[in-house]
């Protein structure tokens, strides 16, 4: 028993001694975590360089855009062909992708040799050979009668400007074909394929094998956004934010970047880590000075590194008693498969002995232990360096997403990774140690380079098909110049119908006289109260106006909520609530005893008989209080004040918010004779010649007309541009068939139009993976403010996704792009429609004055105009195009409904006093 223990002790001691000997000799190959973190930082800096336009030409890590913008979503289907060129054999595949409720991929493939005369010949021969192999495969499978989409995996660095184009930068691995560098490989392939008249394929995608790996794994796990190959060569790709890729136009969405990390260190940035053996391997390669990182890592070089180390150790008498065989001196005699065999746990030492003996050596037990440890150090360094670069990519993904913790999947492939017994475990362990804030799943790719090319092609086909369907849906929101001219002309006709006595009663654009017959002249002064009712909030204001050199307007206000049960209760309850709010405000300001002149902004269609009489035509914007339509709202307010019997007020004017907007801007700019609101609702007013207003007595001077243009189209005159989504929104509203123009242009409805489109896209499987969430079914969930946020140019798609997540919509990056497009189409149409309508009004003003050219100011208010990032610009552009003889200035109103009401009251008082005098 003692003898057994003694033997075990001797063997352990022997092993320790050999390991220490090798550790001392290969000290520079053993990398600490601090060194690896430093490598990670260096690689992050190289990635940034490769992505920047100015630094890219000199960057070692090329960070090549692949124009792969989307990973599989599981809905891909069809038959595809794939070519896989880049390894020791060339392969042709037929891939059938089926959806049908469960994802399924079936593959048939055929390997073809790549003899040296092909890999070291000329370009024409190479691509003719590829085309011949494809023709042979199709003949064998009896599929020459059918047209196929084809993806081409070409595992060499290419510059791409689109998915189906790629200019070869340089050959790597053992390929050295003449006349191909700096040419488009897809053009060369297509030229070769044209020689086969019976082969009908559509080459849709050029794919790097690393991208193929990511796409293959992405089909099984949609979290996969990184692909890594550690085989004959090594490389990585990942999904980068478009906004960070200077080399490609546009900043929406993501694109797969082929890092070409094998060239990391070609600029000298890894010189302090490269050993004499790395330099010797490089000098003996077919591309000295290039792919230096790859030469420290990949399967093509690990065996050679081990051979050079063993040779030097033998020369120094540290191995094989200083004896060196011819095979050990011969380049390429130790391969990576030998390294993997020697590192096997159980049979590793026996394998080592056999491999060394095949090399003509007579190894001792000590030699075998030492050689096995050399292999471990070389392959462990490879895994460590790979882990450091991969950790840099994962950190970049996490930072791009602004996450504290990232959960992601990395697709893996390559013979070294798959066949080396310890490699995967080492790589995973080091990655998790370097980036503890990343939860990484490593997923082994199944035939990534071939199946991956088919998956990229399948995704490209899906995107083309989806794009076509989405374009068809959004095309209904595009307005041609002819459409806009029609809208302008019809609006002009409807304005005339509303002004004429015989057509006024049936006119959809009501053209209501406001009895506001003047704009401010600067002499207005005094204290005025203003009430503002037009949405879910109600305001009471005290406005102090000073005239003369110290002309100013000071305002004090308080906001009160109007609960839904009041909005949709009885008229008496509504006006009692309003008076309660006024009482609270007067108490708050300490002015309960004063009988102040009051302007009442009432932002609903009213038929006025005088400035202080207004009968409500109909409720809009969600109000439904009973016993109000047809009644005089000023009388209803006076009755409510009487019922309370606490204070008295001089109600001078009932005012529309649009008129208030015009008056507020008119106080600053006398040229302002139009008021426009684009907010919850949409409306316009303008100063019309009295002689044109047939429904009011008198022909002298002007009067402000409240167009109530929201009703434009209620007679069907714009039905040709209404979409099915507009009709769905109308049918689901409180007032079906009414305010049709407003429902296409105002903030209250745009979000709902977007929701209806998103529902349709989801039903067609074009959004949210075809999954209809409960929130998407909820009316009103998509508020118009979300359109403004989503369309903001400053907002990254990540933030768009967050907004959608807040709404309970679990979106991908692609979904976010589509949602942004939908929002853009709906809001652009709204701005164009408002622009065409406004053009009709400014043209009417020009014709009224009989001018060749009109210069006029439009006072504007409303959240849609003020907060939406593009609405105002599109509106102004449309007005300019539709009314070229009018020079229109847009002036933002400062509180039209509050300050405007006070100014109208002040103007009315001034005109009343002038009349009395």
Active-site entry in 285, 379, 603, 733 = 603
Tell which phi-psi region holds residue 207, choosing left (phi > 0), alpha (psi between -120 and 50) or beta.
beta
Cα 823 from Cα 804, distance rounded (Å): 13
643 catalytic? Reply is no
Do residues 754 and 782 lie in contact, with contact meaning Cβ atoms separated by under 8 Å? yes
**H or E stretch including 202?**
strand 201-207
Do residues 372 and 325 lie in contact, with contact meaning Cβ atoms separated by under 8 Å? no
603 catalytic? Reply is yes
Q: Cβ of 277: how many Cβ atoms within 10 Å?
A: 22
DSSP structure string for 100-156:
TTS-EEEEEEEEEE--HHHHTSBHHHHHHHHHHHHHHHHHHTT-TTS-EEEEEEE-S
Helix, strand, or coil (residue 480): coil
Do residues 76 and 95 lie in contact, with contact meaning Cβ atoms separated by under 8 Å? no
Cα 744 from Cα 755, distance rounded (Å): 14
DSSP character at residue 64: E
Name every residue whose Cβ is closer than 8 Å to that of residue 505 and which is 6 or more positions away in sequence.
none
Name every residue whose Cβ is closer than 8 Å to that of residue 387 and which is 6 or more positions away in sequence.
36, 426, 427, 430, 431, 434
Cα dihedral 70, 72, 75, 80, rounded to 10, equals 100
Cα 438 from Cα 33, distance rounded (Å): 17
539 catalytic? Reply is yes
Helix, strand, or coil (residue 401): coil
Active-site entry in 274, 307, 462, 539 = 539
| Range 488-494, long-range pairs (CB < 8 A, 24+ positions) | 488/836, 488/837, 488/839, 488/840, 488/843, 488/882, 488/883, 489/840, 490/712, 490/717, 490/718, 491/709, 491/712, 491/836, 491/837, 491/840, 491/841, 492/840, 492/843, 492/844, 494/712, 494/717
Cα 889 from Cα 41, distance rounded (Å): 54
Q: Are strands 552-561 and 438-444 parallel, antiparallel or unpaired?
A: unpaired
Cα 742 from Cα 750, distance rounded (Å): 10
Do residues 634 and 611 lie in contact, with contact meaning Cβ atoms separated by under 8 Å? no
Cα 439 from Cα 430, distance rounded (Å): 13
Active-site entry in 657, 714, 814, 861 = 657
The dihedrals phi and psi of 676, each to the nearest 5 degrees, come to -135, 130
Name every residue whose Cβ is closer than 8 Å to that of residue 662 and which is 6 or more positions away in sequence.
519, 672, 673, 674, 675, 685, 686, 687, 704, 859, 896, 900
Catalytic residues: 539, 603, 657
């Amino acid at each position: 028993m003692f003898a057994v223990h003694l033997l075990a002790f001797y063997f352990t001691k022997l092993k320790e001694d050999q390991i220490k000997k090798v550790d001392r000799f290969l000290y520079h190959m053993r990398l600490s975590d601090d060194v690896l973190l430093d490598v990670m930082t260096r690689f992050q800096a190289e990635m940034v360089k490769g992505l920047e336009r100015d630094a890219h030409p000199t960057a070692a890590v090329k960070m090549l855009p692949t124009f792969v913008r989307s990973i599989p979503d599981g809905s891909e289907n069809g038959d595809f062909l794939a070519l896989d060129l880049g390894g020791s054999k060339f392969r042709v595949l037929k891939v059938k992708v089926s959806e049908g409720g469960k994802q399924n991929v079936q593959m048939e493939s055929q390997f073809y040799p790549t003899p040296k005369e092909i890999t070291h010949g000329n370009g024409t021969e190479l691509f003719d050979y590829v085309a011949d192999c494809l023709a042979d495969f199709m003949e064998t499978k009896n599929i020459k009668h059918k047209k196929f989409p084809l993806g081409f995996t070409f595992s060499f660095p290419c510059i791409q400007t689109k998915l189906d184009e790629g200019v070869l930068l340089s050959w790597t691995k053992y390929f050295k074909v003449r006349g191909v560098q700096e040419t488009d490989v897809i053009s060369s392939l297509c030229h070769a394929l044209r020689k086969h008249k019976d082969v009908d394929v559509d080459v849709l995608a050029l794919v790097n094998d690393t991208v193929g790996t990511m796409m293959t794994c992405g089909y099984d796990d949609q979290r996969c956004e990184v692909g890594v190959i550690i085989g004959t060569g090594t490389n990585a790709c990942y999904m980068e934010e478009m906004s960070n890729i200077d080399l490609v136009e546009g900043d929406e969405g993501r694109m797969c970047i082929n890092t070409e990390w094998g060239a990391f260190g070609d600029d000298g940035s890894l010189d302090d880590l490269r050993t004499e053996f790395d330099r010797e391997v490089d000098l003996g390669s077919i591309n000295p000075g290039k792919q230096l990182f790859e030469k420290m890592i990949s399967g093509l070089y690990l065996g050679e590194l081990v051979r050079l180390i063993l040779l030097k150790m033998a020369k120094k008498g540290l191995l094989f008693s200083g004896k060196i065989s011819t095979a050990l001196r011969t380049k390429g005699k130790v391969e990576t498969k030998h390294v993997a065999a020697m590192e096997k746990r159980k049979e590793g030492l026996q394998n080592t002995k056999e491999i060394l003996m095949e090399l003509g050596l007579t190894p001792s037990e000590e030699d075998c232990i030492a050689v096995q440890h050399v292999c471990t150090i070389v392959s462990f360094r490879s895994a460590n360096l790979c882990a450091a670069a991969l950790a840099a990519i994962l950190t970049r993904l996490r930072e791009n997403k602004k996450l504290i913790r990232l959960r992601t999947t990395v697709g893996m492939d390559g013979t070294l990774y798959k066949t080396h017994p310890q490699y995967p475990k080492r790589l995973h362990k080091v990655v998790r140690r370097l980036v503890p804030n990343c939860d990484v799943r490593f997923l082994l790719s199944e035939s990534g380079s071939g199946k991956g090319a088919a998956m990229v092609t399948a995704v490209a086909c899906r995107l083309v098909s989806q794009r076509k369907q989405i374009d068809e849906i959004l095309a209904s929101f595009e307005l041609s110049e002819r459409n806009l001219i029609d809208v302008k002309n019809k609006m002009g006709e409807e304005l005339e119908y509303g002004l004429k006595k015989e057509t006024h009663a049936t006119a959809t654009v009501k053209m209501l006289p406001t009895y506001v017959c003047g704009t401010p002249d600067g002499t207005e002064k005094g204290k005025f109260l203003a009430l503002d009712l037009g949405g879910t909030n109600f305001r009471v204001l005290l406005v102090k106006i000073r005239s003369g050199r110290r002309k100013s307007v000071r305002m004090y206000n308080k906001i009160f909520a109007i609960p839904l049960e009041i909005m949709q209760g009885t008229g008496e309850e509504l006006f009692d609530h309003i008076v309660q709010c006024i009482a609270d405000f007067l108490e708050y300001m300490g002015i309960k005893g004063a009988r102040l002149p009051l302007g009442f902004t009432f932002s609903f269609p009213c038929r006025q008989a005088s400035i202080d009489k207004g009968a409500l035509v109909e409720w809009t914007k969600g109000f439904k209080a009973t016993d109000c339509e047809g009644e005089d709202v000023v009388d209803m307010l006076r009755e409510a004040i009487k019922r309370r019997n606490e204070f008295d007020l001089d109600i001078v004017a009932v005012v529309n918010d649009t008129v208030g907007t015009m008056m507020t801007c008119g106080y600053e700019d006398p040229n302002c004779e139009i008021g426009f609101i684009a907010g919850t609702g949409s409306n316009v007013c303008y100063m019309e010649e009295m002689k044109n207003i047939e429904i009011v007595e008198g022909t002298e001077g002007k009067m402000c007309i409240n167009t109530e243009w929201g009703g434009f189209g209620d007679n069907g005159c714009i039905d040709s541009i209404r979409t099915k989504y507009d009709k769905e929104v109308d049918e689901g509203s409180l007032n079906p068939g009414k305010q049709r123009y407003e429902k296409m242009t105002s903030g209250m409805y745009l979000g709902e139009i977007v929701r209806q489109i998103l529902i349709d896209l989801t039903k067609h499987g074009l959004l949210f993976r075809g999954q209809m969430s409960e929130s998407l079914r909820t009316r009103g969930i998509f508020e118009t403010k979300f359109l403004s946020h989503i369309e903001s140019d400053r907002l990254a798609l990540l933030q768009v996704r967050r907004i959608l997540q807040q709404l309970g919509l679990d979106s991908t990056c692609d979904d976010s792009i589509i949602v942004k497009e939908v929002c853009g189409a709906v809001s652009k149409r709204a701005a164009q429609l408002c622009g065409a309508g406004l053009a009709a009004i400014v043209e009417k003003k020009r014709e009224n004055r009989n001018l060749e050219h009109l210069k006029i100011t439009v006072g504007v208010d409303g959240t849609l105009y003020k907060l939406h990032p593009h609405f105002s610009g599109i509106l102004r552009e449309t007005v300019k195009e539709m009314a070229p003889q009018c020079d229109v200035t847009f002036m933002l109103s400062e509180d039209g409904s509050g300050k405007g009401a006070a100014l109208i009251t002040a103007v009315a008082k001034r005109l009343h006093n002038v009349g009395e005098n």
